[in-house]
Amino acid sequence: MSRSLPLLLLAPLLATASAWAQTAPSAPDLPEGEGRDTFLRVCSDCHSPQIATHQRLGREGWSDLVFMMADQGAVATDAELEEIITYLSGAFPPEGEETAHE
C-alpha cells in the first residue's frame, strides 16, 4: 500500500468537514441583518441560536451577556463580539422598542 493512499481516502472527508465548518447553521426565525451569520457561527457552538429570540435586552444588556459568554468560552474576536452585540440589540430590543431589522 502506498503512503499516499490514506491521504487520498481522507481528502473527501477533510473537504466535507472544512465546508461544513464554514457554513453557519440555519435559523430561519432570526431576522436578517449584519452580524447574523457571525452570531450563528459563534453562539451556536454552545446553544441554540433561537435562545436569543426569547431575550429582549438593550445594548448594555446584550453587551453584558455576550461578554459573559466570551468569558465562558465563546470564541470570537472583539470586533466579532461587537458585531454580535449590534445585531442582537437591533433584532431583539427591549419590549416596546422597534427592531432595526424589520
Q: How far apart are CA 28 and CA 36, in angstroms?
A: 11
Instruction: Give mean pLDDT, residues 70-90.
Output: 97
Task: Identify the architecture of domain 32-96 in CATH.
Answer: Orthogonal Bundle (1.10)
- 36 touches 86 (CB < 8 A): no
Above pLDDT 90, what percent of the chain? 56
Give yes or no for residue 19 having a pLDDT over 80: no
Among residues 61, 4, 56, 29, the alpha carbon closest in space to that of 40 is found at 29
Q: Please, which contacts does 19-27 make with residues 24 or more away whose CB atoms are closer than 8 Å?
A: 25/49
Exposure class string for 70-96: b at 16+ Cβ within 10 A, else e: beeebebeeebbebbbbbbbbbbbeee
State pLDDT tens for residues 24-60.
455 667 999 999 999 999 999 999 998 888 899 999 9
**Residue 31 confidence (pLDDT):** 93
For the chain, what are the domain ranges?
32-96
